[in-house]
Structure formats: C-alpha cells, structure tokens
Structure 1
Amino acid sequence: MQLLCPDCRRPFQIDDATWPQSAGITCPSDHKFAVRDGVLEFVDAVLAQRLADFLPPFSTIRAGDDKRLVDPAVYPLLPDAPAVRGNHEWRLRTYDLDVISRLLAKRGRQRILDFGAWNGWLSNRLAASGHQ
C-alpha cells in the first residue's frame, strides 16, 4: 500500500502482506508512526501533540457519558442496532453512511482508509458492501 507521510509529504510503500507491523512504520525521512492495537497512528507531529493534550479529558468525559457500547454483539448491527435506536449521534452516522454509500456506488469497489477512532462500524459496513 502506498502512503504519503503526513509530516514531510514523501510517498512510501508498506507491505500489505506483513501489515500491521507492531513496531510501527517509518517514512523515508525517518518520521515514525506507532501502531496501537492494530491501528496506525498516522498523523503529523503537530496534530499528534494536540491529540495528546485533548484525549485525556475527552476520554474522561466519554467514560462518564454512558454512550459506550460494551457488548460486542452490537457492533455488527451498527448503525441500526436496537441499542442505539433513537440516539441522535447514530442517526447522523446513519445519514453519513447513506451519503458515503451513494457516492461510492458511482465508483465501484474501492480501497478505503477509515481513520476514525471509534469502534470500526463504518469500516465494517463498507467492507460488507465489497470495499477493502
């Protein structure tokens, strides 16, 4: 897979057969990007620092807002699972999926990078539609 370094903008390849590398990846200019729980943290250094400052208080808020889905059986059903029915955020996510699906229908099967940090529901739905 070809990537473009978010720091220096230089292109480089990673081997799909050996992905994900638990040690992370390094671009040709020696910018390093970690892999945590199989997810590549592929953001430039400035954004990474902003996220590092933002995530602890955000995580505290999310832990207390009772919106976490802890039942793995719910995930394959998202965004239509009974557990989220009537939830405003999930109605918006359903709308997003509809818009994305209509746009992709005109392009055929695509290779897609979902760089959200949630639970993978969008990647799951797109993969079920034949995308990679």
Structure 2
Amino acid sequence: MAKKEKIEKENLSEIMNLVRAEEVMCYDKKTGKCILLENLEAISQQEEGKVWIFPYDMELCSKEKGLRWFIEEYNIDIPDYRKRWQYLRESGSNQAFYEYLLDLRLDAMKDWLHEHNILQLDFDE
C-alpha cells in the first residue's frame, strides 16, 4: 500500500539525499513513486529521463549558508575571537539553528518539487 502526501518537515528526510550515501532517493516519472536506487543506477536512469534524483541536503541549503543567514536574521553578535558554530553551540542556540536550517531546506525542496511539477509524493509503506 502506498501513502500520498505533501512534503512536510517530518518527511523531508525521507526524500532529501545525503552526500556520500550509497543510495539516493528518486522520483520515478512513470509511476509517480519515490524509489531508492544505487548512485550509478540513479544517474543512469536520470540520464535516460526515467527518474529525477531528489536534491542533496547541501544543494538545498548548505550548513554554512544557513548559519550566515541565521546569524544575520536573528542579529546575533559573535565576538571576534569566537568561531560562529562554537558560539552558537555554547550559547544553546544550535537547536534553533537546526530548526531554521530545516525550514530553509524544506522551502527549497518545495520549490524544487514545484519546478518539477510534483504535486504529491507517493511513498511505499
């Protein structure tokens, strides 16, 4: 049985690919299903026009870019002698940053889905 749903934070990790993973999540254009393929097979099928490989986390928004935007948006003043990430972690803001980064990636994934005219995702259960 398959379940169809729109993309939300909770299922973003199901389709967002991670760098260095041996398998990637793809969208099968013919069936409309989300499928997991080995990297080389996915590339081959994408070149043949059969699938779209879902974006990688870093393609959606890199941690570095998200960190810059987070610091700017929340007007966080980091002392010159401190590293940004270390300061956020020590000040307890790292969890808020990860939520912010997840929101950025979710918005970017929604844009990607819209560009590819994917209205719903079909996951195998």
TM-score, normalised with respect to structure 2:
0.23
Higher relative contact order, structure no. (Cα contacts within 8 Å, ≥ 6 residues apart): 2
Relative to its length, the structure with more helix (as a share) is: 2
